[in-house]
């Protein structure tokens, strides 16, 4: 099969550095690869990033190039002209009328406008450098318990999270980028960090569905992708949500009617270790309902996965169909043209006026 006729496979993996090496190229060309996720180590400046993404696309035009770029402390590109966006919690604070001279309805409208501006700036700048997709927004509720979530969350209130996430998603859409709600059904209550531990949330299914999962329900068709949490909810299933048929099929697909892409969280994280080997984890995630699995920061495990993972033709076709929907459908503006675009300048102006960016 030539690279021109390939369809995206179910594995999203990373690359080592600022440019592709031979091992990166081999992994990207593997038929099981469907996407490449970039990190801070892959960014030095805009010119370098644009060349890296172009080189990836030359190898695999069908590969979805993604990044974790939320704003605040989770933003991979912060220099050489990139706008350092605020943590999403700042938008929640704006909504709650911290300025006492402002009525709640006015502050809520401003917060939603700011969220749309953030989404537009985020997507337009990334797309100008060849990045297709960002894993944002965070839909977790801020219970004040989870250090790894914290101000990445819009709010404790699911209605505010829904409204601001919908507004952010609209900004992404206007700039030609899809969205990804995370971490389903909610990582905000569990105190442990799933990067280094196995978080447990002891609440009931009813409690979670009536609170944490509400933004997923309300966002409905405007949600393009979802990433489940590496959190165990023992009153629902003994497996973390990303490996659970109950959470992904029975709840997310059937009860909430979600039809978009489901990405696993990173299989190299400690929260995924309960599944066993990386191959076993990928098999469990895909069987539970994931369309794609992430393996990051461990090229040795990526090689294991590419060598050992077996996926049926039916599953491959289903995943490829969904993944292709996340590809930008419009042409992006080159960086220099973007700097003169009215919508981009208006978005930056609003964020500066609200003192959300420098």
Residues contacting 257, CB < 8 A, separation 6+: 220
List, as one string, the DSSP characters of 327-355. Answer: S--SPPPPHHHHTT-HHHHHHHHHHHHTT
| CB 296 within 8 Å of CB 37 | yes
Judging by DSSP bridges, how do beta strands 64-67 and 33-38 pair with one another? parallel
d(CA 74, CA 79): 14
User: CA 260 to CA 151: how far, in whole Å?
Assistant: 26
Dihedral class, residue 193 (left if φ above 0, else alpha if ψ from -120 to 50, else beta): beta
Round to whole Å and give the CA distance between 90 and 220: 25
Q: 121 CB contacts (<8 Å, ≥6 apart)? A: 83, 85, 171, 344, 347, 348, 351
Residue 122: both structure tokens together: 């985020």
Query: Which is the catalytic residue, given 195, 217, 249, 303?
Result: 195
Catalytic residue among 30, 265, 266, 291: 265
List 294's β-bridge partners, or say none: 12, 266
CB 113 within 8 A of CB 340: no
Active site residue 195: yes
Please confirm, yes or no, whether 265 is among the known catalytic residues.
yes
SS (H, E, C) 194-214: CCCCCCECCCCHHHHHCCCCH
DSSP strand E in the chain: where?
11-13, 33-38, 64-67, 69-71, 74-75, 133-134, 181-184, 225-228, 261-266, 292-295
Contact 263, 284 (CB under 8 A): no
* 251 secondary structure, DSSP code: I
Catalytic residues: 195, 265
């Amino acid at each position: 099969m030539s690279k021109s006729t390939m369809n995206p496979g179910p594995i999203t993996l990373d690359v080592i550095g600022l440019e592709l090496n031979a091992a990166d190229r081999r992994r990207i060309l593997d038929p099981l690869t469907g996407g490449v996720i970039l990190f801070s180590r892959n960014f030095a400046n805009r010119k370098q990033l644009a060349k890296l993404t172009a080189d990836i696309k030359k190898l695999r035009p069908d590969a979805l190039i993604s990044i974790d770029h939320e704003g605040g402390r989770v933003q991979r590109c912060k220099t050489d002209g990139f706008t350092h966006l605020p943590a999403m919690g700042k938008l929640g604070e704006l909504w709650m009328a911290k300025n006492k001279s402002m009525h709640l309805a006015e502050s809520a409208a401003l917060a939603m406008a700011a969220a749309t501006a953030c989404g537009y700036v985020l997507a337009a700048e990334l797309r100008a450098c060849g990045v297709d997709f960002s894993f944002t927004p965070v839909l977790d509720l801020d219970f004040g318990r989870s250090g790894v979530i914290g101000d990445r969350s819009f709010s404790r209130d699911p209605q505010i999270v829904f409204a601001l996430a919908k507004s952010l998603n609209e900004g992404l859409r206007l700039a030609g980028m899809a969205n990804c709600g995370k971490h389903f059904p909610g990582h905000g209550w569990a105190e442990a960090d799933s990067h280094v531990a196995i978080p447990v949330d002891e609440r009931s299914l009813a409690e979670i569905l009536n609170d944490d999962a509400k933004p997923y329900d309300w966002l409905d068709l405007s949600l393009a992708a979802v990433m489940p949490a590496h959190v165990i909810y023992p009153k629902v299933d003994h497996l973390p949500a990303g490996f659970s048929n109950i959470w992904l099929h029975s709840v997310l697909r059937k009860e909430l009617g979600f039809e978009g892409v489901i990405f696993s969280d990173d299989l190299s994280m400690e929260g995924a270790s309960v599944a066993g080997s990386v191959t076993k984890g990928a098999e469990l995630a895909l069987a539970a309902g994931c369309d794609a699995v992430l393996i990051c920061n461990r090229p040795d495990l990526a090689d294991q996965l590419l060598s050992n993972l077996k996926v049926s033709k039916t599953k491959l076709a289903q995943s490829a169909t969904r993944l292709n929907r996340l590809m930008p459908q419009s042409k992006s503006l080159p960086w220099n043209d973007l700097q003169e675009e009215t919508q981009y300048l208006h978005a930056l102006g609003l964020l500066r006026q609200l003192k959300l960016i420098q």
